[in-house]
Structure 1
Amino acid sequence: MTREHHYELALSWTGNDGEGTKTYRSYRRDHVVSAPGAPQIPGSSDPAFRGDPSRWNPEQLLVASLAQCHLLWYLHFAASAGVVVVGYEDAPTGTMVEDAAGGGRFSEVTLRPRVTVAAGTDPALAASLHAKVGDVCFIARSVNFPVRHDATVAVTG
């Protein structure tokens, strides 16, 4: 049985400084992403493209989505396998390659989860669960570039 899930949000450009897009430099790339019941996300473009570095850019949000999806599926697999995770941090990176025409695409994302498990938990089993995530993570399965994992597992105590 297949199920469909639908996601709705609102996007509002807030970067009109009075001249609109009269020139490439006459407007800010600022915008706000919102959805009912969720905090707003202040967005802009990458600073390399005249964006505000204090706001999230789409490239960062793509990498964040992949890391979040991995985290959530990993925790699910851990709970199902009896692996007691007590800490999880990630420092993901993404590489986007820009072409001569100004377009670009991501060539890869590397997730670097640092998982801490409770004493008595099998660290090898905990480490092996990362490989299962790519088979089910909705976001990773939707991109056309490799999502790599460079995970570490530590045991408390």
Structure 2
Amino acid sequence: MTVHNYKLTVTWSGNRGTGTSGYRDYERSHVISADGKPSIPGSSDPAFRGDATRWNPEELLLASASACHKLWYLHLCADAGIVVTAYEDHAQGTMNGDRFERIVLRPRVTIAAGDRALAMRLHHQAHAQCYIAKSVNFPIDCEPSIE
């Protein structure tokens, strides 16, 4: 098995001058950065005093699950001779208290060539290959449609 290592930096940018002197005295803002890539502005969810204009960890986890599924799906389609011309996922995640309870992926896929039934089945294979889905302890369901 090949080991892959990833590196990034998360820099807190929310010190208003008094640090964490009180729960309401600091911003949850941070910047996610890595060499050669655009920075991602982050914060906590607004429910936790975060900035709604910045990405929060919950959204990034949802985005990671969706993107991982998409990347595997496109790879499997290419190998199977299915020509995908569009892919859009309206993913949704649900937290209950302090834990994710479920993610539902809803990819809408347009194909120009290939077996439609196989294109549907490949979503199951993509899910089985997705390292995010294999790494979490809650269900990630997929409700795809093919056009």
Match of 1:56, SS state, is: coil
Q: What amino acid sits opposite 1:137 in the alignment?
A: C
2:19 alignment counterpart: 20
2:7 alignment counterpart: 8
Separation of aligned partners in 2, 1:108 and 1:28: 28
Match of 1:134, SS state, is: helix
1:88 alignment counterpart: 87
Give unmatched runs, 5+ long, in structure 2.
Answer: none
Alignment RMSD (CA, Å): 0.7
2:144 alignment counterpart: 151
Out of 100, 109, 120, which is 2:103 matched to?
Answer: 109
The superposition leaves residues 96-122 of structure 1 with CA deviations (integer Å, 9 ceiling, x where unpaired) of 111xxxxx110110000000000x422
Match of 1:17, SS state, is: coil
Match of 1:135, SS state, is: helix
Q: How many residues are matched?
A: 147
2:133 alignment counterpart: 140
Do structure 1's residue 43 and structure 2's residue 37 form an aligned pair?
A: no
TM-score by length of 1: 0.92
Q: Which has the higher helix share?
A: 2
1:101 alignment counterpart: none
Separation of aligned partners in 2, 1:121 and 1:142: 31
Over the matched positions of the two proteins, sequence identity in percent amounts to 55
The superposition leaves residues 53-79 of structure 1 with CA deviations (integer Å, 9 ceiling, x where unpaired) of 000000000000000000000000000
Deviation, structure 1 residue 26: 0.4
TM-score by length of 2: 0.98
Separation of aligned partners in 1, 2:48 and 2:133: 26
Give unmatched runs, 5+ long, in structure 1.
Answer: 99-103
Separation of aligned partners in 1, 2:114 and 2:76: 14
1:62 alignment counterpart: 61
The superposition leaves residues 119-150 of structure 1 with CA deviations (integer Å, 9 ceiling, x where unpaired) of x4221111110000122111110000000001
